[in-house]
Chains A and B, each alone.
Chain A
């Protein structure tokens, strides 16, 4: 404990104060940075000056009567005890020490406290204590400006302007008081803040002309910066060197505050900033030594990427003064603790950064693998980022991407815009577009079929998309369809001959009355017809896929068609009775033969999959907009898990326990496509073992529909 007697309050003065109570309280409130206490021999407070209110937040009456220790920081209690004990022994003795006193809100402020034993003084009988607020000094930078070496180049980091200005004003004030010349190259806001502070400390800047030299940082910088490059060394030496030479005339020491580097740094011109720091260092060696104060806002280093540059800046200075969050810590223990915590934080941040970099690298790797096109675009349809695979697919360059020229509407043919709109809608609603096929317009005008899926980047109006070029697959599909089409054509030629000669034979044998042979021929004809149907189904399937199945468009009476088809199918079966319920008395619009094909298919299926039943029920009904045709059988039924798949191509229920049924597994797919093409729907209701009911709807002919029958070809 350093007990000094910087300020001694002698007993006569104290007596005076006490003799004039009214005067005393007036004087104390005048000087609000002092708190006066009166203590009894035991240390209990008998009086507290009202100046405690602004300083600590207590009202005197609240704590009068308590021991003085209630105000003192726990770590400083021992000091208090020792001091009270020491002065208690010798009347008139006065001692002082530094204390932290507790504010009502729980925070602490630093005070210089002195106590005088006036217990023996008549009319007094108290220990009188004075506490002066020294918080500002305690928390100010630890460097002793007056002891600064003239050749030092130090850097101050700061978080708030207030802190910088406190620090700077002390640096300049000390200089001005000791006769140094002070050059301030700062922003106008900082120059103004500094001058206000200096004037508040009683310095009259108008009286020290030639010693206080304020300059604008931006203007000064402009005198030696070369556009697009860094500072010009010669011009810097000329401008700043002259300035310092001028200021140092008369053997004056020079202090300089420079903010030009910080300006360059904040502008992002970091190389120039470091280069300028170097020039300052060289200048210090070249001409008369001077002390240079640099300041950087910590906000300019918020980011892991600044790590190296930050240390480079530190290395270019002879002293580094950390920002206020560290400076504010007064005791060595607190500082050690803060350093430990910072070290831990730095380590974990480093680990975190490394982890993130690994993740980022993984994503980047994925992005750059170019196995598949990847892009990032905004909802408005501008492509923001893309990998080479995507750019190659569309024939654009990276420069064009960066210039924002790739837009959804430019690379999507008009007929696919609705698909993009749908995708965007579901992106906004559910966060994902799902997978869909579309075509892109290559820069050359070529169309590229692609498979695409887009997902929203959370909480943004952007999305990431994956694009696969499916040209090759489409080409294969096309060739396959051509093959099927050709194959079914080739198959039909021999079937036509077979059927023709068979017909000839039938005629020949009929004239001879060869009943048995005729019966066999009829069986052959049935099989040839089945074969023909299979070939036709294959052909239809390939046409549906390529969108080339042709449909007639005509009005027809659906009741009549159902009746006609049922009669035809009835002729082919001896096992089942086909029963019709209801009628629609309605006309539908479409291809009569194709709808007939659907009905034949459903009826044949109903017969095929109900080998033990003897009835198939057909129901006709209608509502406001549609007619509904239902075909019900009482056969093996369809388990629920198969029900949505039976309309898919090539799907046949395979159950090891069940016998297999003949067929290619394309009939329902074709039927379903035909119904859809007519604007209707097809679905099934069934339970395993309990039969199945297939329904399909067709839209009713409306009054506004075309009258004249005509034909159209899809695609």
Chain B
């Protein structure tokens, strides 16, 4: 158990996926927050910034890539590592172009996503 838990924000519009990721990441010792609301992510505050964001490409009514682009353009959120996932493997190109740090295709192996989180989180 780390002395100071790393905070991970998971954004997806599928409650099941949010739930298992929360369980999984808790088991791995992370402090996890989940949301299915894109607006929440756009209003992140300086005093409550996560150490890493996991974000789906397709959110209800919103393109995850646009959110990443926005966050990466803001001074206070720019340095947060962002990993996106999508059911379309070919989304990788556009995801990276939008400024995300990494991409994972759905459905993913647990080992794969944990590896990527460990790689990017500081």
Does A592 count as interface, using CB distance less than 8 angstroms?
A: no
A503-B109, A507-B27, A532-B107 in contact; A493/B17 too (CB < 8 A)? yes
Query: Is there an interface contact between B89 and A504, defined as CB atoms closer than 8 Å?
Result: no
- Give CA–CA (A493, B14) in the complex, Å: 8
Which stretch, B1-9, B18-26, B30-38, B44-52, touches the partner chain A? B18-26
Q: Of the candidates A492, A503, A543, which one forms a contact with B90 in the assembled complex, judged by CB atoms under 8 Å apart?
A: A543
Does B88 count as interface, using CB distance less than 8 angstroms?
A: yes
Query: Is there an interface contact between A488 and B87, defined as CB atoms closer than 8 Å?
Result: yes
Query: Is there an interface contact between B87 and A497, defined as CB atoms closer than 8 Å?
Result: no
How far does the Cβ of B96 sit from chain A's closest Cβ, in whole Å? 9
Nearest B residue to A712 by beta-carbon distance? B93
A492-B106, A492-B107, A503-B110 in contact; A497/B20 too (CB < 8 A)? yes
Which residues of B sit under 8 angstroms from A134, Cβ to Cβ?
none
In the complex, chain A residues 530-547 whose Cβ is within 8 Å of any chain B Cβ: 532, 536, 539, 543
Query: Is there an interface contact between A539 and B17, defined as CB atoms closer than 8 Å?
Result: no
Q: Of the candidates A500, A548, A549, which one forms a contact with B20 in the assembled complex, judged by CB atoms under 8 Å apart?
A: A500
How far does the Cβ of A293 sit from chain B's closest Cβ, in whole Å? 91
Query: Is there an interface contact between B107 and A528, defined as CB atoms closer than 8 Å?
Result: yes
Query: Is there an interface contact between A536 and B89, defined as CB atoms closer than 8 Å?
Result: yes
Main secondary structure of the interface of A (DSSP, over half): helix
- Give CA–CA (A489, B16) in the complex, Å: 16
Most buried by B among A488, A503, A504, A548: A503
Does A436 count as interface, using CB distance less than 8 angstroms?
A: no
Number of B residues whose C-beta is below 8 Å from A? 19
- Give CA–CA (A539, B105) in the complex, Å: 13
Which residues of B sit under 8 angstroms from A495, Cβ to Cβ?
106-107
A492-B87, A493-B14, A539-B88 in contact; A501/B20 too (CB < 8 A)? yes
Q: Of the candidates B21, B106, B109, which one forms a contact with A493 in the assembled complex, judged by CB atoms under 8 Å apart?
A: B106
Nearest B residue to A496 by beta-carbon distance? B107
Most buried by A among B14, B20, B107: B107
Query: Is there an interface contact between B90 and A550, defined as CB atoms closer than 8 Å?
Result: yes
- Give CA–CA (A548, B20) in the complex, Å: 33
How far does the Cβ of A550 sit from chain B's closest Cβ, in whole Å? 4
Nearest B residue to A506 by beta-carbon distance? B110
How far does the Cβ of A351 sit from chain B's closest Cβ, in whole Å? 69
Which residues of B sit under 8 angstroms from A539, Cβ to Cβ?
88-89
Does A109 count as interface, using CB distance less than 8 angstroms?
A: no
Query: Is there an interface contact between B87 and A504, defined as CB atoms closer than 8 Å?
Result: no
Which residues of B sit under 8 angstroms from A549, Cβ to Cβ?
90
Nearest B residue to A489 by beta-carbon distance? B87
Contact with A along B104-122 (1 / 0, CB 8 A): 0011111000000000000
- Give CA–CA (A548, B58) in the complex, Å: 19
Nearest A residue to B110 by beta-carbon distance? A503
Which residues of B sit under 8 angstroms from A485, Cβ to Cβ?
88
In the complex, chain A residues 468-506 whose Cβ is within 8 Å of any chain B Cβ: 485, 488-489, 492-501, 503-504
Query: Is there an interface contact between B20 and A504, defined as CB atoms closer than 8 Å?
Result: yes
Does A30 count as interface, using CB distance less than 8 angstroms?
A: no
Nearest B residue to A525 by beta-carbon distance? B109
Query: Is there an interface contact between A496 and B106, defined as CB atoms closer than 8 Å?
Result: yes
Query: Is there an interface contact between A713 and B106, defined as CB atoms closer than 8 Å?
Result: no
Does A711 count as interface, using CB distance less than 8 angstroms?
A: yes
Query: Is there an interface contact between B107 and A499, defined as CB atoms closer than 8 Å?
Result: yes
Most buried by B among A494, A548, A549: A494
Query: Is there an interface contact between B21 and A500, defined as CB atoms closer than 8 Å?
Result: yes
Nearest A residue to B58 by beta-carbon distance? A489
Which residues of A sit under 8 angstroms from B90, Cβ to Cβ?
543, 548-550, 713
Nearest A residue to B23 by beta-carbon distance? A504
- Give CA–CA (A558, B91) in the complex, Å: 25
Nearest B residue to A501 by beta-carbon distance? B20
How far does the Cβ of B40 sit from chain A's closest Cβ, in whole Å? 21
How far does the Cβ of B112 sit from chain A's closest Cβ, in whole Å? 10
Most buried by B among A488, A493, A496, A528: A496
Query: Is there an interface contact between A496 and B108, defined as CB atoms closer than 8 Å?
Result: yes
Which residues of B sit under 8 angstroms from A492, Cβ to Cβ?
87, 106-107
Query: Is there an interface contact between B17 and A500, defined as CB atoms closer than 8 Å?
Result: yes
In the complex, chain B residues 63-122 whose Cβ is within 8 Å of any chain A Cβ: 87-90, 93, 106-110
Which residues of B sit under 8 angstroms from A489, Cβ to Cβ?
58, 87-88
- Give CA–CA (A493, B17) in the complex, Å: 8
- Give CA–CA (A713, B94) in the complex, Å: 10
In the complex, chain A residues 395-418 whose Cβ is within 8 Å of any chain B Cβ: none
A493-B17, A550-B93 in contact; A500/B87 too (CB < 8 A)? no
Q: Of the candidates B14, B88, B108, which one forms a contact with A499 in the assembled complex, judged by CB atoms under 8 Å apart?
A: B108
Which residues of B sit under 8 angstroms from A548, Cβ to Cβ?
90
How far does the Cβ of A603 sit from chain B's closest Cβ, in whole Å? 21
Which residues of A sit under 8 angstroms from B93, Cβ to Cβ?
550, 711, 713
- Give CA–CA (A497, B58) in the complex, Å: 16
Which residues of B sit under 8 angstroms from A498, Cβ to Cβ?
107
Most buried by A among B16, B20, B108: B20
Query: Is there an interface contact between B88 and A497, defined as CB atoms closer than 8 Å?
Result: no
Nearest B residue to A491 by beta-carbon distance? B87
- Give CA–CA (A532, B24) in the complex, Å: 21
Which residues of B sit under 8 angstroms from A507, Cβ to Cβ?
24, 27, 110
- Give CA–CA (A398, B23) in the complex, Å: 72
- Give CA–CA (A497, B15) in the complex, Å: 9
Nearest A residue to B13 by beta-carbon distance? A493
How far does the Cβ of B119 sit from chain A's closest Cβ, in whole Å? 19
Which residues of A sit under 8 angstroms from B108, Cβ to Cβ?
496, 499
Nearest A residue to B86 by beta-carbon distance? A489
Nearest A residue to B14 by beta-carbon distance? A493
- Give CA–CA (A498, B20) in the complex, Å: 9
How far does the Cβ of B16 sit from chain A's closest Cβ, in whole Å? 4
How far does the Cβ of A544 sit from chain B's closest Cβ, in whole Å? 12
How far does the Cβ of A521 sit from chain B's closest Cβ, in whole Å? 12
- Give CA–CA (A411, B32) in the complex, Å: 60
- Give CA–CA (A549, B89) in the complex, Å: 10
Which residues of A sit under 8 angstroms from B107, Cβ to Cβ?
492, 495-496, 498-500, 528, 532
Query: Is there an interface contact between A504 and B24, defined as CB atoms closer than 8 Å?
Result: yes
- Chain A residues engaging chain B, CB cutoff 8 angstroms: 485, 488-489, 492-501, 503-504, 507, 528, 532, 536, 539, 543, 548-550, 711, 713
Top 9 A-B residue pairs of the complex, sorted by shortest distance between their CB atoms:
A503-B110, A500-B20, A492-B87, A496-B107, A497-B16, A550-B90, A489-B87, A499-B107, A496-B106
- 20 contacts across the A-B interface (CB closer than 8 A): A485-B88, A488-B87, A492-B87, A492-B107, A493-B14, A493-B17, A495-B106, A496-B14, A496-B17, A499-B109, A500-B16, A500-B24, A500-B110, A503-B20, A503-B24, A503-B109, A504-B20, A507-B27, A532-B107, A543-B90
Given contacts A485-B88, A497-B14, 17 further A-B contacts (CB under 8 A): A489-B58, A492-B107, A493-B87, A494-B16, A495-B106, A496-B108, A497-B17, A497-B20, A499-B109, A500-B21, A503-B110, A504-B20, A504-B23, A507-B27, A507-B110, A532-B107, A539-B88
